[in-house]
């Protein structure tokens, strides 16, 4: 069945975050009421890769028609009921080429965008709404350049999609980081230890910076500013010895580096289709360095460490208030643009105001402006005034 105004397709790609289902719900309900048919593409770009453009084919694993009852059930929950993947259709390894395309695409790495375009045409999609981070949305930009009408919604816990102050998932990540860090204080204080917590943040340190500003930690280490472990240890030992319960806390972004390191810390050398290796280990490296250096600043006595990686704990479960409200606004913004006949855009928050920007913005990198917002000497957020700053203070691009 076709909607009187056409067909809108929604997909979610990359890592899951709380707030995706509310965004899908917002788009679907508004679109249906405006007279559109709405399709959910399953497993991100993989759904458009694996789909077989044949009316007799079973494509239920790739696409589902969205209805109000379906999205209402899911809209209050975390994650994405459409599922996700890190499929990159422009750089698809031969092992991931679906069987019906094996004869057409035989290289080790294949750009199967022509097949994706055929599938969009087969489904009758008039406008595509990808929800994701810069990797997912960069391929959305590619499709826009190929003539597809695309209106994108930014999502990532790291809040590092350029062009917007806010990405779905960021508030819940900050909220959970603060909550979990405060919870871990009891163990650190009981044993008079230094608490090292590894948090999300591959290229941008917002998820360490904002919780520290909110009082969750004494210091933070971010990807934009490599840290001298000797200097960090000196600060944390002083923080510990000043505290009535004799403990201190540092948040370390997963993409952070120690001085002298040329690359991030990885769990393995295996990379996804976007070239990203799985991060992990910098928290343990920082912990070991602090433990070894601590006698130097603690009258010759070693300080033991509590080391914890928060990981999926901050991205699982239900969205917080902001990640329930902002997705609703983003979904409606996307429909506003579609009704205006506009595409090639990213819905956004700019200096605290809902807006949209050209989709090409996602091709840039967004990170913490260290000179404005990070004190390299104190290893803490830097702020002089809050006047005229947006809600999250340090996340706008000046």
- pLDDT, tens only, 209-241: 999 999 999 999 999 999 999 999 999 999 999
Q: Is the pLDDT of residue 43 over 80?
A: yes
At 266, the pLDDT band (50, 70, 90 cuts) reads: very low
pLDDT grade for 390, boundaries at 50, 70 and 90: confident
Q: What local confidence, expressed as pLDDT, does residue 1 receive?
A: 47
Q: Look at residue 93 in the predicted model and tell me its pLDDT.
A: 95
For domain 6-168+318-363, give the CATH number.
3.40.50.450
Q: Above 60 in pLDDT, residue 316? A: yes
Integer Cα distance of 277 and 266 in angstroms: 6
pLDDT digits (tens, 9 = 90+) for 117-137: 999 999 999 999 999 999 999
Whether pLDDT at 92 is above 80: yes
Read off the pLDDT band of 264 (50, 70, 90).
low
Residues 363-387: tens digit of each pLDDT: 999 999 999 999 999 999 998 888 8
Q: Per DSSP, what are the bridge partners of residue 127?
A: 8
Q: Does the annotation count 388 as an active-site position? A: no
Average pLDDT over residues 251-266: 81
For residue 251, the model assigns a pLDDT of 98
Which residues fall within 8 angstroms of residue 206, CB to CB, at 6 or more apart? 158, 159, 160, 170, 368, 392, 394, 395
User: Both tokens of residue 194?
Assistant: 């230094």
Write the pLDDT tens digit of every residue in 52-88.
999 999 999 999 999 999 999 888 889 999 999 999 9
pLDDT grade for 280, boundaries at 50, 70 and 90: low
What DSSP line would sit under 181-228, residue for residue? HHHHHHHHHHTT-EEEEEE--SS--HHHHHHHHTTS-SEEE-TTS-B-
CB 141 within 8 A of CB 150: yes
Kindly give the pairing relationship between strand 380-381 and strand 219-221. Answer: unpaired
Can you give the pLDDT at residue 329?
98
Within this chain, domains 6-168+318-363 and 172-314+370-381 share the same CATH topology = yes
Q: Which CATH architecture has domain 172-314+370-381?
A: 3-Layer(aba) Sandwich (3.40)
User: What pLDDT is attached to residue 386?
Assistant: 85
Domain boundaries, the chain: 6-168+318-363, 172-314+370-381
- Residue 156 and residue 234: Cα distance in Å, rounded? 33
Q: What is the pLDDT of residue 261?
A: 77
List 50, 126, 158, 160, catalytic entry: 158
- C-alpha 38/C-alpha 79 separation (Å) is 20
Q: What percent of the chain has pLDDT over 70?
A: 94
Q: What is the pLDDT of residues 162-175, one digit of tens each?
A: 999 999 999 999 99
* Whether the predicted pLDDT of 192 surpasses 80: yes
pLDDT of residue 265: 55
140-163 pLDDT, tens digit per residue, is 999 999 999 999 999 999 999 999
The residue among 25 and 276 whose pLDDT is bigger is 25
């Amino acid at each position: 069945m076709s909607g009187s105004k056409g067909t809108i397709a929604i997909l979610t790609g990359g890592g899951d975050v709380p707030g995706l289902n509310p965004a899908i719900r917002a788009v679907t309900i508004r679109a249906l009421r405006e007279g559109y048919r709405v399709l959910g593409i399953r497993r991100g770009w993989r759904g458009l890769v694996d789909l077989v453009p044949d009316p007799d084919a079973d494509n239920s694993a790739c696409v589902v028609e969205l209805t109000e009852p379906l999205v209402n059930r899911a809209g209050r929950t975390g994650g994405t009921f459409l599922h996700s993947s890190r499929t990159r259709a422009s750089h698809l390894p031969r092992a991931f080429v679906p069987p019906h395309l094996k004869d057409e695409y035989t290289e080790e790495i294949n750009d199967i965008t022509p097949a994706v375009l055929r599938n969009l045409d087969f489904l009758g999609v008039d406008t595509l709404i990808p929800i994701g981070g810069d990797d997912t949305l960069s391929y959305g930009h590619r499709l826009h350049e190929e003539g597809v009408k695309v209106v994108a919604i930014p999502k990532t816990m790291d809040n590092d999609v350029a062009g917007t102050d806010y990405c779905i998932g960021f508030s819940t990540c900050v909220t959970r980081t603060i909550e979990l860090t405060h919870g871990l204080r009891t163990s650190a204080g009981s044993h008079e230890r230094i608490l090292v917590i590894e948090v999300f943040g591959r290229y941008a340190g917002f998820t360490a910076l904002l919780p520290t500003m909110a009082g969750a930690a004494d210091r933070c280490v971010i990807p934009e500013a490599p840290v001298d472990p000797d200097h960090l240890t000196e600060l944390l030992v002083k923080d510990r010895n000043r505290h009535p319960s004799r403990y201190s806390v540092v948040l370390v972004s997963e993409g952070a580096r120690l001085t002298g390191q040329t690359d991030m810390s990885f769990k393995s050398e295996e990379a996804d289709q976007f070239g990203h290796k799985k991060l992990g280990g910098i928290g343990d490296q920082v912990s070991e360095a602090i433990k070894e250096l601590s006698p130097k600043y603690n009258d010759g006595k070693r300080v033991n460490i509590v080391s914890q990686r928060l990981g999926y704990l901050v991205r699982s479960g239900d969205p917080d208030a902001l990640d329930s409200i902002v997705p609703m606004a983003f979904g409606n913004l996307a429909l506003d643009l579609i009704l205006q006949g506009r595409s090639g855009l990213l819905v956004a928050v700019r200096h605290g105001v809902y807006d949209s920007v050209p989709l090409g913005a996602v091709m840039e990198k967004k990170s913490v402006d260290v000179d404005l917002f990070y004190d390299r000497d104190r290893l803490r957020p830097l702020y002089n005034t809050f006047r005229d700053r947006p809600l999250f203070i340090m996340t706008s691009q000046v």
